[in-house]
Amino acid sequence: MQATVQAVAEWSGAEGLSGRSASEGLLLTGVSTDTRTIKPGQLFVPLRGERYDGHDYIRTAAEAGAAASLWDSGLPVPDIDIPLILVADTLLALQALAVGYAGSLSAKVVAVTGSNGKTTTKDFVSAVLSTKYLVHKTDGNFNNHIGLPLTILRAPSNTEILVLEMGMSAKGEISLLSKMSRPDLAIITNIGESHLLHLGSRRNIAKAKLEIADGLKPGGTLFYYGDEPLLSEEIAANGELNKLKTVTFGENPGNDWNARYIRVTAEETHFSIAGEGDVSFALPVAGRHNAINALAAIAVGRHMGLTFDEIREGLASAKLTGMRIERSAAKNGALILNDAYNASPTSVKAAIHLVAELTGYRRKWIVLGDMLDLGPEEEAMHGGIGRGLNDAKADAVLLYGPLSKNTYSEAKSNFPEGNVLHFGEKEALADYLLERLEKDDLVLVKASRGMRMEEIVSILQKGARG
C-alpha cells in the first residue's frame, strides 16, 4: 500500500489526527502490526490480544521508522513525533482500511475457502493466473480477520488479481472476510470435519463455507466441489445462492470440470480433464486429492481467459506452501512426506490413500498424531481411521497423542504383531523410527497443527535428536 495519511484517515473512518503538523500529505509505504518487522515509512497498527496491547509499543514502532500510526481514540494521546490517526477501534479500522485500499485497485478478487486443500488450491490458482496477470496472494495462511486485510494492504498498486484464502473456526467468520474483500470469483474446495467442535455437523460447516458468497460481487461466480452433496443441497435450498452463477469440479462426470485417469508418483500427480477435449496435466506434488485442487485452478484459469498451455505451465511451476505433502529426505536418504500442517478424517484418509498408491519402497511407514477440534465424535473418528488402515496400505503405523490410542486399538489387528505402535512421547516415537528407517523407505507424517509433528520430521532430517 502506498497512500497518504489523509487517504488512510478517510478509509479507516478516523475521528481525527494528532501529532506532527502538516502530516495529511505524508506518503505511507506499507502497513505493519509488528514492531519487530516494521519498516521505515510504514503505518503502524497497534492491535490488542489476550496478553498484549500494541499501543504499548508505539515508541518502539516510531524508533523503528514507522511514519504514522493508528491510535485508539479512547486512550491518552502520547507525546510522539509521528502523526496518530485516531480511530474508535484499531482492528475495525484496519479492516476498513483494507476495504478502502482494495476499492482503489483495479484488481479482480478470487477468494478460496474449504475444509481441506484451500492453501494448496490458492497456490495453484495463483500460479496459473500468474502466467498472464500480475497476481498477489495470501502469504502462508494469513487467512483470518487480521491476516486477510494485511494481505490486501500488502498488494502492489499494479496488482491485477488478488487471490485471498479465507479460514474460519465459527459461523459468520467467512461472511466477514467475503464482505471485506468483495470477490469476483469464489471457490469452495470441499467440506470436511474440521471445526465440528464449534459447528456441530458437516451441514453446518457447509453453510459456513457458503458464506463466501455473501460478499460476491453482482455477476460473480461460485466454483465449488460438485462431488459434495451438502454443497449442492444447500445451494438448491437457498434462494439467493440458487441465483448465483456456479461452476462445479470433481471426479464425477456430471461436474462442469472433472478429472480422470489420475496417476500418482512420489514426485508428481498426472491427470486428464474432459469437456474441452482430452487435456493432460502434471502437478509437482503427490496426491489424488491434489488433482481436484488443481481442477479448481483450471476452471478459474479458463474462466479468466487462459489457454490450456498457460494453465499447464502455471501448474507445473507452482510453489506450494510448506507442510502440505512436502517432500524431503531423511539423513539416511529415506523419503519423508511432511503433511503435518493440519489433519481431519478426510485429509488423513487422502494421505493414507496416497501412501497406498506409491510403490517401490522397502518399507512404508505412516506416522499419525491426533486430529483436533472434532467435537464429541473425536474418539470414534480416530477409531475409524484405524479401521481403514491395513498392511496392504503400509508396512507399519506409529501413533502419538491421547486420541490416537483409538486409532491404535482399531488398527493393530489389521497388521502383523508389533507393526502398529502407540507412543506417549514424541521423542520416543522419533527414536524408534530413527533406529529402523532405511534409505529405501518412505515415511508419511500427518497430524493436526497443535501436535507439532514437524518436530519428528526435523529429527529424521538431522538423523538425531537435539
User: From CA 190, how far away is CA 109, in angstroms rounded?
Assistant: 20
409 known ligand binder: no
User: From CA 362, how far away is CA 438, in angstroms rounded?
Assistant: 8
116 known ligand binder: yes
**Residue 278, pLDDT score:** 78
Q: Which CATH number fits domain 3-89: 2.40.50.100, 3.40.1390.10, 3.40.50.720, 3.30.450.20?
A: 3.40.1390.10
DSSP 80-125: -SS-EEEES-HHHHHHHHHHHHHHHS--EEEEEE-SSSHHHHHHHH
Burial of 51 (0-12, 13-18, 19+ CB in 10 A): exposed
- Residue partners of 396: CB distance under 8 A and separation at least 6: 363, 364, 365, 366, 415, 419, 420, 421
Which residues on neighbouring strands pair with residue 165, listed in sequence order?
A: 112
C-alpha cell at 33: 502490526
Terminal-residue alpha carbon distance, the chain:
42
Q: What is the DSSP letter of 212?
A: G
Q: pTM here? A: 0.93
User: From CA 401, how far away is CA 332, in angstroms rounded?
Assistant: 27
User: From CA 269, how far away is CA 446, in angstroms rounded?
Assistant: 19
**Residue 23, pLDDT score:** 76
3-class secondary-structure state, position 94: helix
Is residue 450 within 8 A of residue 372, CB to CB? The reply is yes
DSSP E strands in 275-388: the ranges are 279-283, 326-329, 335-339, 364-369
Q: What class does CATH assign to 105-316?
A: alpha beta
118 known ligand binder: yes
Phi, psi of 365 (to 5 degrees): -110, 135
Closest by CA position to 1, among listed 28, 39, 38: 28
**Residue 466, pLDDT score:** 65
Tally: H helices and E strands in the chain: 17, 22
Amino acid identity for residue 125 in this structure: V
Q: Each residue of 115-161: pLDDT tens digit?
A: 999 999 999 999 999 999 999 999 987 999 999 999 999 999 999 99
117 known ligand binder: yes
Q: Which CATH number fits domain 326-462: 3.40.50.720, 3.90.190.20, 3.20.20.20, 3.30.70.2500?
A: 3.90.190.20
407 known ligand binder: no
User: From CA 162, how far away is CA 451, in angstroms rounded?
Assistant: 32
Neighbours of 74 (CB within 10 A): 9
User: From CA 406, how far away is CA 383, in angstroms rounded?
Assistant: 5
Low-confidence ranges of the chain (pLDDT < 70): 20-22, 275-277, 466
Q: What is the DSSP letter of 18?
A: E
Query: What is the residue extent of each domain of the chain?
Result: 3-89, 105-316, 326-462
**Residue 24, pLDDT score:** 76
